[in-house]
Amino acid sequence: MLVLVAAWWPSRVTGLLDGAPFDNAPDALVLGLLLPLLLWLAPEAFRTRRALVVILLLLGWKAFGSAALVHDGWCTRVEPSRPYVIDGAGAAKSWDARTDWLAADPRCSAITTRPYLTDEEFPVWFFNLPSATIGEPPSAEDLPPLAVTRLTMRGTILVHAPGVLRVRTSSSVAAGFSVDGQQAGQDGVQLAVGAHEVVITATLTDRSWTLAPLWNEADLFAALPAMVSPPSALDRAVRPWARRIPFSLLGILVWIGVSAVWTRIWDWWIASWIAVSIAAGAVVAAWMPPRRWHYAMLALVVAARLPMRESLRNVRGAFILLAPFWLALHVVDTYYDLGFNRMQLPMPGNDWWQFQRFAYRIYMQGYWLEGGEVTFWFQPLYRWIAGALHMLFGQSQTGENYWDAVAILVIALFSFEVVRQLRGFRWGIVAGVLALTTYLSGPGHVFIGRGLSEITSAGFIYLSALCVIAARGPRSRRLLLAAGVFGVLGVWTRLNNLPMALAAAVFAWPLEAPASTIWTPRQWTVKVWRPAVIAVPAALAIGMGLFALRTWHYTGEFSLFFGTQAGARAVWQPGMSFRDAASAALSSVMMVATTTDPPRFHTGAVPILAGAALSVMAFAGAPFVRRLPLALTVFTIAGFASALLARGSAYSGRFSVHVVGATVAVLTAAIASVYYRFRRGTNLVSPWTGPTSPP
């Protein structure tokens, strides 16, 4: 936590790795992705005395800068000609953690440290917010090209040699500027050595905006020290070398983490695999359309044949083999699709747009508990997560892209870990690859980075299950607490997933316990780990109680579903015949299993359909299949349980995300068992307790 606080704390002096917002590629990659992953891969490296000294130095530097230095960049205040946000007043706010964003009427909408060359770079994220009238769609005047926006940019520059200051604009930006209170002409103004106060006023209309302050026809922010206010003598003395401090200290921390990971790997085969995977993922993202990515993803199955030392034949080892390609795929896709520090306008009216509006209301307007809705017609928690990601990554969607990509990776690592414990490391790698491939082969691949709740909820629930699986050991209390918290977060993110979150407790039974145990009640208490059976349901009961308490606070109704879409989306509607209701329930389940709405077969859904069918057959006591793991089949069936009660609508594939990991694990475990059963020379104790020697 100290590392993340020190790294993410916004720095007063702008430079590489300077903290939030992560508005350039190095910041987004290193601070937003690489550093958190290193903290998970090699946590012990950051607990050493050397690392602690570096962390404290970085914290101390950030604290000194906040107290003694002036912000780099200019203060930019944006004022729309009409209110674009409900309860909005004063200047518009952007997702810039360096500003006074907690103020009702901030002095700065953004801190400008670079020229604005395209529309997406301007701090006009508020165009995502119209209309200011509840329930009304945005009008034509709320959005470009008819919208009119006024912008004021104010700051100080330090001139070391005489030169010419000029402001370049596009035809749709009417701008003027003054220096030291004197109005300047369109051709610019000659400035002498010293500090000068600059004020730029502009009106933005139509589209295709450009506003670029130039010094001797070059980018002013790259050529001169530019600050929000006049610097002190201390500031002037420190500034020439100040930006190197966070870069150097964070470079040391990253080096410590990378060195620790390399020490753990210590194999040129694996190092070569990582390098080739990153390059391949980048090439695929740049040259192959996303609907074809699953073909490239499936090729990663060859990683199962790589030599892996015993200490890495676990979840971290699987991450090292699978994550480089997967993350490179989405990092490059983010760069090409969105870019860093570029705003994207969601289509007004859809769920993504709504979550962005709610996030703004929470963080920028201070409705921390209300969250934009008194009762949640839209799913609850994701809006808080989206706002936190915007505070880190700025106004772009890059953070949400990374978040979703990592959540899908968690789902794949669940498939790996369950199959690894059942059939060995290599079969686990096959399961992990198949889970990623299955997700990409369906329509849901378009939802990574698209700001919906399903991926996040599934990621939390699979983390909960992984914690329960790993909790039998010295850290059992801590892991069970984490399992409960992740389960609650998963349900808070998407209420439909409550059955699956509750089913994470079933991993209190050992994985080798067969599904046939369900028909022998005397065996239910054999080898069950009671703390997990109690901890997960108890945590969910507390979490749901708090959720209902919030509803009671605003409405007087102590309920989980009051004001939600539960009634509108219910499969069993009043007045339905049993036959119609059963048909609707079957259609809802098949929509989840086929990843399409209306349900229709496609090859990408085969692993989900097969895993679901095998789980049902195991519970029915079908020969051989009944030896499938009890915990895994219960978890899988629980993933489909909510579809019997409620049917989702719109966005084909979004309602299938949470069943990918479980169904793929069931299918891979079954295939591996068949393989070992019929392989010559393999001595099996039973098809599900594993071979006598490691595969």
| Rounded Cα–Cα distance for residues 523 and 519 (Å) | 9
- How far apart CA 186 and CA 178 sit, in angstroms, is 11
Residue of higher predicted confidence among 356 and 487: 487
Q: Report pLDDT digits (tens) over 587-617.
A: 999 999 999 988 998 888 999 999 999 999 9
User: Phi/psi of residue 64, each to 5°?
Assistant: -60, -45
Q: How confident is the model at residue 339 (pLDDT cuts 50, 70, 90)?
A: low
Q: How confident is the model over 566-592, as a mean pLDDT?
A: 88
* pLDDT at 543 exceeding the cut of 90: yes
The answer to whether residues 198 and 154 touch, using CB atoms and an 8 Å cutoff, is: yes
Computed over every residue of the chain, the mean pLDDT equals 90
- Taking the C-alpha atoms of residue 365 and residue 105, their distance in angstroms, rounded to an integer, is 10
Q: Give the integer Cα–Cα distance in Å for 211 and 219.
A: 11
- Please state the rounded mean pLDDT for residues 336-364: 79
Provide mean pLDDT across the span 81-103. 85
> What phi and psi, each to the nearest 5 degrees, are found at residue 395?
-85, -5
Share of the chain above pLDDT 70, in %: 95
pLDDT at 134 (0 to 100)? 66
Residue 397 has pLDDT above 50, yes or no: yes
**Which residues are within 8 A (CB) of 207 and not within 5 positions of it... i.e. 6 or more apart?**
119, 144, 145, 172
Q: What is the 3-state secondary structure (H, E, C) of 189-228?
A: EEECCEEEEEEEEEEECCCCCCEEEEECCEEHHHHCCEEC
pTM over 0.85, yes/no: yes
3-state secondary structure of 324: helix
Of the candidates 506, 430, 419, the residue with the CA atom closest to the CA atom of residue 461:
506
pLDDT in tens, 127-159: 888 776 766 777 788 888 888 999 999 999 999
Note the pLDDT of residue 341: 67
DSSP, residue by residue, 458-494 = HHHHHHHHHHHHHTSSTTHHHHHHHHHHHHHHHHHH-
Residues 305-319 have a mean pLDDT of 91
Asked if 448 and 404 count as a contact pair (C-beta separation under 8 A), the reply is yes
What pLDDT is attached to residue 36? Answer: 96
Phi, psi (5° rounding) for residue 5? -60, -45
pLDDT recorded at residue 338 = 62
On whether the CB atoms of residues 581 and 589 are closer than 8 A, the answer is: no
Q: CA quadruple 674, 680, 686, 692: dihedral positive or negative?
A: negative
Residue 95 is encoded by which pair of tokens? 């997702």
Sign of the Cα torsion 489, 447, 416, 256 reads negative
Tell me: pLDDT of 569 over 60. yes
**Statement: residue 689 has pLDDT above 70:** no
- pLDDT over 90 at 192, yes or no: yes
**Rounded mean pLDDT of 218-239?**
92
Give the pLDDT score at 146: 87
Q: Which residues contact 119 (CB under 8 A, 6 or more apart)?
A: 144, 207, 208, 209, 343
Of residues 685 and 342, more confidently modeled: 342
What pLDDT is recorded for position 47? 93
Count the neighbouring beta carbons within 10 Å of the beta carbon of residue 162: 10
pLDDT band at 278 (very low <50, low <70, confident <90, very high): very high
**For 609-654, how does the pLDDT look when each residue is reduced to its tens digit (9 = 90+)?**
999 999 999 988 888 888 899 999 999 999 999 999 888 887 888 8
Chain segment 11-67, per-residue pLDDT in tens: 999 989 999 999 888 999 999 999 999 999 999 999 999 999 999 999 999 999 999
Predicted confidence at residue 322, as pLDDT, reads 96
pLDDT value at 690 more than 80 = no
Q: How confident is the model at residue 337 (pLDDT cuts 50, 70, 90)?
A: low
Q: What is the DSSP letter of 511?
A: T
Q: What is the pLDDT of residue 686?
A: 40
Domains of the chain, residue spans? 2-69+246-259, 74-233, 267-340+398-678
Give the pLDDT score at 680: 52
Confidence band for 695, pLDDT divided at 50, 70 and 90? very low
